[in-house]
Structure 1
Amino acid sequence: MNPSNWRTYLVTQASLSDGRSTSEIVRAAIDGGVDAVQLREKETSARSRYELGLELRELTADAGVDLIVNDRVDIAQAIDADGVHVGQSDLPVGVARDLLGPDAVVGCSTSTVAEAREAEREGADYLGVGAVYGTSSKDVADDEDGIGPERIEAIADAVSIPIVGIGGITADNAAPVAEAGAAGVAVISEITAASDPAAATAALAETVETSKGVADGGRGA
């Protein structure tokens, strides 16, 4: 349960799954080597998210994959998730930490250096930074053109906790995000909408791992 080791992070959204269940997508992503899964599904009821969360908890626990819940600290507690991810308009990081305890993973969405530093001060374990590229998701960023890998680098230089880039990321454009200092990348449609989610996950993981190797080699030179 170390966000520094997350290379691929799936954020669930059933509406993009082409009729497949979220559990089916998560199972395939696990087969492809996903490191963390975030239960999102904001358009569903709390009861539905709870019941889905129980299914995902079983799948991820068996595979040794971290399970994070978007926004809802109560659901995270109820399904014994590994942690919660909060946005700028959700419960503060410190409150989530107090409710979940010291062992839980608490992540926070940020898009600026100031937000990132504040989240770190409040005790966040990792940051979801974006939207890196343009995205149609209402959950990430307020800049339709994206903040770009340059902002990832600026935030990585400003904080000491791991960063996960999110927003419009694909296997084709993930490399600059990892090279800029992100530990990994979080995606929705790149895996969920793929005809072969397992293969899409594996391709994304390979791109990130290779790019991080290049970046680490450059920094060590």
Structure 2
Amino acid sequence: MNLRAGMESFFNTGIYGITAENISNGRDNIEIVRDMLEGGIKFIQYREKEKDALSRYEECLILRDMIKQAGGVFIIDDFVDLALAVDADGVHIGQSDLPPRVVRKLIGREKLLGLSTHNTEELEQANELKKYIDYIGVGPIHATATKINAEPVGFEYLDYAVKNAQLPLVAIGGIKEQNIDDVLHAGAKTVAIVSDIVQSENIVSKVERLRDKIFNK
């Protein structure tokens, strides 16, 4: 995987898609991701913590091939071993996971590494670790059902991150079609959207409308 090509997908498609099968109205991740790709999302994260390891592995083998054939980028949330086992394009970690320098050593230089940040202190730490990290997550901007215990950070931190981040960033947390304009106005160029996409009756149309807002703001 070429890091530069991966980050081009990060910027060029505007939306960072994330799986959430438990809130996908009975549809499985294969169907959800297929529709994401058809709608134009090329940067997709697999986030499934409740499934057993074998189920995740078998599902990710299918998703990896689907996303690769579509010219997309496949990121695994948290599970470094799973990312290596299925040869994903990268891994995304949180503040309580293995340190970025350790994860980088494990995954090598060819894979992408993302890190979630929630406040200015974590952002500055990410800036200091930028030789290990390729992009950061900023949020949650709003309250979100996919991260029940996460306190929303609002726009104050997003404004700070837009001005001070030394890495590409993706805004995340409760972002939907009806409030995405505020996030874009704050300066975010890439947004992670979960429930508004996976719960949509027509994911392809939903993604197309969201992307129209992003690129025609």
TM-score by length of 1: 0.89
Residues 165-197 of structure 1: per-residue CA shift (max 9 Å, x gap): 111001121122122222211121111111011
Q: Does 1:83 align with 2:90?
A: yes
Residues 21-54 of structure 1: per-residue CA shift (max 9 Å, x gap): 1110000011101121111111101111111111
**Aligned partners of 2:110 and 2:188: how far apart in 1?**
23
Q: Which residue of 2 aligns with 1:127?
A: 136
Change (3 A) 1:69 1:198: same
Q: Which residue of 1 aligns with 2:64?
A: 57
Residues 182-220 of structure 1: per-residue CA shift (max 9 Å, x gap): 221112111111101111111111112223xxxxxxxxx
Q: Which residue of 1 aligns with 2:205?
A: 199
- Specify which of 151, 154, 157 is matched with residue 148 of structure 1: 154
Where 2:166 maps in the other structure, the secondary structure is: coil
Instruction: Check the 8 A contact 2:135/2:168 in 1, yes or no.
Output: yes
Which segments of 5 or more consecutive residues in structure 2 lack a partner in the other structure? 1-5
Pairing of 1:135-174 with structure 2 (within 5 A): 135-138=144-147, 142-143=150-151, 146-174=152-180
**Aligned partners of 2:115 and 2:61: how far apart in 1?**
23
Moved more, 56-65 or 112-121: 112-121
RMSD: 1.5
Instruction: Check the 8 A contact 2:13/2:211 in 1, yes or no.
Output: no
Structure 1 runs of 4+ with >3 Å offset? 3-6
* Counterpart amino acid of residue 174 in structure 2: G
| Identity level (%) | 38
**Aligned partners of 1:106 and 1:202: how far apart in 2?**
27
TM-score by length of 2: 0.91
Q: Does 1:188 align with 2:190?
A: no
Q: Which residue of 2 aligns with 1:26?
A: 33
- Residue 6 of structure 1 and its aligned partner are, at CA, apart by 4.7
Matched positions, count: 208
